[in-house]
Every structure is written in C-alpha cells, then in structure tokens.
Amino acid sequence: MPCLNESCEQDIEYESIDGCLQGIIDNNRARNFVFGGDLNISKLQATANAYNMLSEFCSRNNIIWLEPLDGSVQYTFHADSMGHFSLIDHMLVSECLVQDHNSVTIHVDDSNVSDHYAISCRVDTGITGGIKSNASDRKDVKLLWDKADVNLYHLVLQQQLSQIILTVDALLCVCDASFVVMIY
C-alpha cells in the first residue's frame, strides 16, 4: 500500500487498491480470503481517508481486521535509530477463518534484516495436515535452518501449498506487490 501522507494522490491509490481487492472478492463470492502485508496505516489513524476506506471494505465483505496476540509487541515497523515504532502490517481475513480477533503473531527475529517484522495468523481451512510439527509454541524460538531437514521441509511445504487454489484474478491483480492475496 502507498505511504500514508493523506494527499489526494495517496487517497486515489488506496481507492484503486480497494477496488482491485473488491473485484477479487466479487469474482469469487464462494471463497474465503486472507489478505496480509504492509498496509502503511495504523488503526490509530482513524481520521485518515485510507483508514475509513479499509474499514468500510472490511465491513462490506465480512472481513476482520485482526489484532496482535495479547502480550506480544504492538509494532511491526521499527526504525530503531530514529526511535520510530508503528503497527502498519496487518492481516485481514474472512470471519469464518479465525476464532479470535487477537490472533496475529508478530515474529520478532533479530536475524531479520528488514525494518518490518514478519506477521502470521492461524486460519481454519478445514484441511487437516498429515504431519505433526514438533516445533515448540514458545515465542522465543530461534530457527536453526542449518540443522533442518530441508527435504522434509520441502515435502511438507509442497503438500500444503498444493492445497491452495489461486484464481486467475488473484494472480493478475495489479495491487501493490507487498500486499499478498491468498485465496482457497
């Protein structure tokens, strides 16, 4: 999404992206949706036109604008040298896919060189996996990729990704590249 500077041009960009996402939903009414990424807007900016457009989009389409898990950090963007921290990366999901509005995990990882932390949320797709993870649910887990079974990871990832169906509209969407659209 474009940077939030509340200019007329920026409002037009948000409206265009809103229209693109609405088109995807309209062409796939029987589907559920997960949208996520850098929206460049905080819920604290409730007076901004972009915030209003996004809130109305969610309301029109039974989409929930998820919150971080209770007790987690409350920012995803961090400019440490300037002391700037904000929650501008978000997950928007169909209501039926989550149990709780507070279900976004913010992955604080010192090895991540980006100024944005990764985010994720668990969604109920109705698909049961055949492989149980032995990973800990602790939040301070450091991934040791050098010790990972890369072949098993590849196999599990391939199995899980093969169950996601992407429509042509999602693949052709001209939305900002940092905004990920997944449809099943």
Please, where are the H alpha helices in the chain?
8-26, 49-60, 150-161, 168-172
pLDDT at 126 over 80: no
C-alpha to C-alpha distance for 37 and 116, rounded to whole angstroms: 10
146 belongs to a structural domain = no
Residue 137 inside a domain? The answer is no
Looking at the domain assignment, is residue 38 inside a domain?
A: yes
Question: What is the C-alpha separation between 93 and 97, in angstroms, rounded?
Answer: 7
Identify whether 136 is part of a domain. no
Is the residue at 75 inside a domain?
yes
Q: What's the predicted TM-score (pTM) here?
A: 0.67
Q: Is residue 155 part of a domain?
A: no
34-84 pLDDT, tens per residue?
888 888 888 877 667 888 888 999 999 999 999 998 888 898 888 888 888
Domain that holds residue 56: 8-128+164-183
List pLDDT tens digits, range 15-36: 888 888 898 889 888 888 888 8
Structurally, the chain folds into a number of domains equal to 1
Residue 21 included in any domain: yes
Residue range 129-174, pLDDT digits in tens: 555 555 555 556 666 777 888 888 888 888 887 877 665 555 554 4
pLDDT at 183 (0 to 100): 34
Q: For tokens 């971080």, what's the residue?
A: 68
Is 111 a member of any domain?
yes
